[in-house]
Chains A and B, each alone.
Chain A
Amino acid sequence: MKLLKRLALVVVVCLLVAPALARGGETLDAVKARGHLLVGVNGALFGFGMPDEKGVWRGLDVDTARAVAAAVFADPEKVKFVTLTTQTRFTALQSKEIDLLCRNATRTLTRETDLGLNFVSANYYDGQGFLIPKKLGVKSAKELNGASVCVLPGTTTEQNAADFFRSTKMTMKPVVIEQNTELNQAFFGGRCDVLTSDASQLAGIRAVAPQPDDYVILPEIISKEPLCPVVRHGDDQWRDIVDFCVLAMVAAEDLGVNSKNVDEMLKSADPNIQRFLGVTPGNGKALGLDEKWAYNIVKMVGNYGEVFERNVGEKTKLGIKRGLNAQWKDGGLMYAPPFK
């Protein structure tokens, strides 16, 4: 399988070298001609990309895709979701099976260069953390010396944990278990002291514990996982559109515009809001979209805060606090450039 993956990579790279592939504006034209957006999603990650019991897609990544559809078509439902595995996600983008990948993909240097992908602004800042039973009385990850750690094999998670323990001169006993569900059961059954995974996942795992209050997520985050929507190299206009669709949700929250007050905000005297909502035209033309594009995103999908709270926020099963994903004004990393 590793060989196959490498072979696929080589083919991808070869295709990228073909010069005819990169022409600006191509993706937007193709999307418009087709009449809907093709978006790669996870399919089994609660809060990010997963169908509910009626088969309706829900999640932060899904809503990001809907925002792009709202900007392009003024209709957030003009999206077809394609479920992709970790192995198939990047090739699906390269082979033009999808226009856009919103599948909790971490931006890294080699993915951006070797794979020929463009990661746009992050729609979620994740990071690896530790889940631990309260009764152990551990308050910080620095007190974990000698702990047995439940971890999935062959992931960056395993490597991150090993790196963390080595750099802090502590020892760990890895308990490596192949399947997520078994891993959780092993942890709740007491086979290891600590469970390590992405913080967003830990919240979900804690939520399904027999007694969720008996477990805490330690404050330390030991890795950086900026999860970004991804497009192909070579179509800068499409990259800009997707990038600013993500940023428009962030900017809307920053400007105090949400799906409920957006119609009143059209009358706002603030020039920033006027430009943002297309009352003062310019932004839409620059992107090659309708001037109402940002208005449509906010009206039909919501601002970043609304999308966050709806899918992963404190009222959901995941119950994740804003943390790194708060606005820059509130100490988070969500920061949109001026829309002018």
Chain B
Amino acid sequence: MDVSLQQTSAMDVKPPVTSVGVLGWVRQNLFNGPLNSILTIVVVLVLVRIVPPLFKWALVDSLWTSSGAACKATTGACWSVLTHNARFILFGFYPHDQQWRPLCCVILIVGLFLYTRSPNRWSKGLAIAWGVSLVAMGILMPGGVLGLQPVEPGQWSGISLTLLLSLFGLTVAYPLGVILALGRRSRLPAIKAMSVLYIELIRGVPLISMLFMASVMFPLFLPEGITVNKILRAQAAIILFTAAYIAEVVRGGLQAVPRGQYEAAESLGLDYYQKMRLIILPQALKIVIPPTVGILVSAFKDTSLVVIIGLFDLLKTTQVTLSNPEWMGFSTEAFLFIAVLYFLGCFSMSSFSRRLEKALAR
């Protein structure tokens, strides 16, 4: 058999132009059937109708540093509403000359979170870094030491408030939720009943009513002259609320761990705490990563509900800016900006969960 001849002939005949290169890719992926061809054409048409005007509005005709009056004359986007009010939208009432402090805190939180996102970077050093930066934030935000001007919590607002409510809300709610889930599965009737009561009670009311309770009713029950900080009250409401939902998710995980695992742990002579810490929880929590992150993402978004009790989170500072007659009517631009910030927050959380799942599956 003449092998070499066969080879040369195979090399001579090139594949048809329509099945390789750009054209081939387009044909294979976009026009590989009547339905897909129609869909492709429709999508392209829609994009052609939307993208150029959007581009023109957002970039070509837009104003970035003008006054509100100049914005009214233009047809483009008025990003000036953001550049002009950026410091109030981001930091609210925090004293103007001290705003480097919340800025540092925001950078610390975001930076550390981004670094922590890939689980292979996890180490003792990172845990210490988190601890140190939490202490640093605890000093930077309220001040009053190291010659820093004291700033009371009532003045914390904007993105720093949103991040603080989320960070502490989520990190405290998670362990609390795990404890509640264990309590609900407990064999001790009193603990079980209390956990069930708590979870069902909290899950039975919307977060808004919890926030109202915390801000309107709760102060009335306190003895005269004692007031608890409004932010703390809202924070507690968010924690209690989120914990109840996390408890139910974690309970699902606990039930998904096969009975054999419990029995195996017991036959090794492990006591309850060892069994849970070493055998059951590591498996259960791994199973429920996706729904847990779902709850954390929605809890992050729910922090914006504190608007209704008069706290100035990111959304509220934006709304206030928009009620200034000079900037009234540029809500599209401002809310787009807020939406992008929230998207970045939520998206990075879910991408974190995906990485975590992959790392743990290995």
Contact = CB atoms under 8 A, between A and B. Distances in A.
A285 interface: no
B245 to A, nearest CB: 21
B196 to A, nearest CB: 25
A91 B219 contact: yes
A1 B219 contact: no
A43 B325 contact: no
Nearest to A58: B324
B87 A53 contact: yes
Given A11-B220, A55-B96, A94-B220, A87 B88 contact: no
B19 interface: no
Interface stretch (B27-35, B289-297, B315-323): B315-323
B312 interface: yes
B325 A46 contact: yes
Given A50-B324, A54-B88, A88 B93 contact: no
Interface residues of A, number: 41
A136 interface: no
Contact of B219 (A50, A53, A80, A95): A95
A9 to B, nearest CB: 10
A208 B325 CA distance: 6
Interface in B143-181: 152, 154-155
Given A45-B323, A51-B93, A54-B88, A82 B154 contact: yes
Given A85-B308, A210-B72, A50 B216 contact: no
B324 A46 contact: yes
A284 interface: no
Most chain B C-beta atoms within 10 Å of own C-beta, residue among A181, A207, A318: A181
A87 B216 contact: yes
B354 to A, nearest CB: 36
B220 A44 contact: no
Interface string B254-267: 00000000000000
B320 A50 contact: yes
Contacts of A4: 209, 212-213, 216-217
Interface string B71-87: 01000000000001101
A84 B321 contact: no
A181 B217 contact: no
Contact of B310 (A8, A53, A85, A207): A85
Contacts of A85: 308-310
Nearest to B331: A181
Contacts of B72: 210
B93 A55 contact: yes
Contacts of A92: 219
A7 interface: yes
B317 to A, nearest CB: 9
A111 interface: no
B224 interface: yes
Contact of B212 (A12, A44, A87, A210): A87
Contact of B326 (A7, A96, A185, A317): A317
A51 B88 contact: yes
Nearest to B325: A317
A114 interface: no
Contacts of A87: 212, 216, 308
Contact of B209 (A1, A46, A51, A318): A1
B162 to A, nearest CB: 16
Nearest to B89: A53
A135 B176 CA distance: 63
B60 to A, nearest CB: 21
A83 interface: yes
B268 to A, nearest CB: 52
A12 B216 CA distance: 10
Interface string B322-341: 11111011010000000000
B75 to A, nearest CB: 12
Contacts of A330: none
B94 interface: yes
A84 B308 CA distance: 9
Interface in B181-237: 208-209, 212-213, 215-217, 219-220, 222, 224-225, 227, 230
B253 interface: no
Interface in A206-226: 207-208, 210
A55 B95 contact: yes
A213 B215 CA distance: 43
Contact of A43 (B88, B310, B329): B310
Interface in A4-53: 4, 7-8, 11-12, 15, 21, 30, 43-46, 50-53
A11 B216 CA distance: 11
A15 B96 contact: no
Contacts of B217: 4, 7-8, 11
Contacts of A181: 322, 328-329, 331
Contacts of B328: 181, 184, 204, 208
B310 A82 contact: yes
Contacts of B325: 46, 204, 207-208, 317-318
A163 interface: no
A77 interface: no
Which 9 A-B pairs have CB atoms at the shortest separation, nearest pair first?
A95-B219, A317-B325, A208-B328, A83-B310, A55-B93, A44-B323, A207-B325, A44-B320, A53-B88
15 contacts: A4-B217, A30-B225, A51-B320, A52-B88, A55-B88, A55-B93, A55-B96, A84-B310, A95-B227, A96-B227, A181-B328, A184-B329, A208-B328, A210-B72, A317-B324
Given A80-B152, A83-B310, 17 more contacts: A1-B209, A43-B312, A45-B323, A46-B324, A51-B93, A53-B85, A55-B87, A55-B95, A80-B154, A83-B312, A88-B309, A92-B219, A95-B220, A97-B219, A181-B322, A208-B325, A208-B329
